[in-house]
Chain A
Amino acid sequence: METFGIDFKELPVKGNTRKRLYGSVELDRIKEHIRKFKEVGFNHLVAISCIDWIDDGKFEVVYHLWSYEELVDIFLSVMIDRDNPSLQSVKELFPQAETYEREMHEMFGVYFDGNDRLTEFILEDWDGPPPMRKDFDTKKYAEERFYSVPPVGDVDEGV
């Protein structure tokens, strides 16, 4: 398999005979690498996921690519700064990336340069910080937003 100079590490997987390879890529070369892997057969973008490494001050964005010819999963990981999270969009390579990027923008506050549809997605009427960040206190937010709503009249307990 062509690796394009990336040092891949095989991940131990239980009950799955297919290989899973994990490799780190520099921030400015991620789009170029995805394009190269797409050309050699990794033409299925399975998912894009985001991990909040709050102690390191980093977000890790992982692109999951699958090849139907080699039957291999590769995970391309890129670290971005947590305070100013910005990445290049891969929308032109994989149109479906737009939806993943919208979700990540809403849930983690990651900005994707080149994606013009980073609008409100799943969270309607949202006014808080991105909820999937680890410093977001979901219990405190729920108390402020939902438990503070007063009950109406006498609460009927049913029969």
Chain B
Amino acid sequence: MSKEMSYRDWTEVERLLSRRSLWIIHFCTGCGAMEMPAIMTSRYDMERFGIMPMATPRQADIMLVTGYVAVKTLKRIVRVYEQMQDPKYVVAFGSCPINGGLYWDSYNTIKQLDKYIPVDIYIAGCMPRPEAIMDALLKLMDMIDRGEADGWRRYKEQFEVYKANQNRVFKRWD
């Protein structure tokens, strides 16, 4: 077996295993966190698919940004995102992280999250129903299987561009 071949096989095994144990970091911004209890508990029960809430960034795979993102929150989001280990996926949840939503002309919320950190999947709606969240998580699992959820790789490739955008809204990092 060639070296290239074995690398490809191993990536497939890795994807197969990682898509079956996705842990979500408990980082709830805005009002979307209200929909989380429904999908965590017995009604929708995301643990059927190996998805679990996790309190620390280092053990988490998915970051759900569940609502509007203020400048102050974005700084924390970037920090948490950078603390997470590869591979990591970001889900933009609701209208606000997609295009600003209700806060389209607000002076203190960033409008498009994907200008600052890479986003793998978007859930539209204000608020999205728990069914929509389950659907998005299942689609994310399929994307991981096919190797399409490559936000963490894009963040590495275009690190300078993302950092430049982040530094346009932050004055300091302390």
Residue from the list B112, B121, B172 in contact with A125, Cβ < 8 A: B172
Digit string of B86-122 for contact with A (CB within 8 Å is 1, else 0)? 0000000000000010001111111110111011111
Q: Is the CB of B169 within 8 A of A142?
A: no
Q: Which residue of A lies closest to B91 (CB)?
A: A158
Q: Is the CB of B106 within 8 A of A152?
A: no
Q: Is the CB of A138 within 8 A of B119?
A: no
Measured CB to CB, the closest approach of chain B to A149, in angstroms, equals 5
Q: Is the CB of A145 within 8 A of B169?
A: yes
Q: What residues of chain B lie closer than 8 Å to A13, measured between beta carbons?
A: none
Alpha-carbon distance between A124 and B118 when the two chains are bound, in angstroms: 23
Residue from the list B72, B161, B172 in contact with A153, Cβ < 8 A: B161
Digit string of A136-150 for contact with B (CB within 8 Å is 1, else 0)? 101101100111011
Q: Which residue of B lies closest to A124 (CB)?
A: B72
Q: Is the CB of A124 within 8 A of B114?
A: no
Alpha-carbon distance between A157 and B119 when the two chains are bound, in angstroms: 9
> Which are the 4 A-B pairs with shortest beta-carbon distances?
A125-B171, A139-B105, A124-B72, A138-B107
Question: A145-B169, A156-B119 in contact; A151/B107 too (CB < 8 A)?
Answer: no
A135 within 8 A of B: no
A51 within 8 A of B: no
Given contacts A156-B119, A158-B139, could you give 18 more A-B pairs where the C-beta distance is less than 8 Å?
Answer: A124-B72, A125-B170, A127-B171, A128-B107, A141-B107, A142-B106, A142-B107, A146-B100, A149-B115, A151-B114, A152-B118, A152-B158, A152-B162, A152-B165, A153-B161, A155-B114, A156-B151, A158-B120
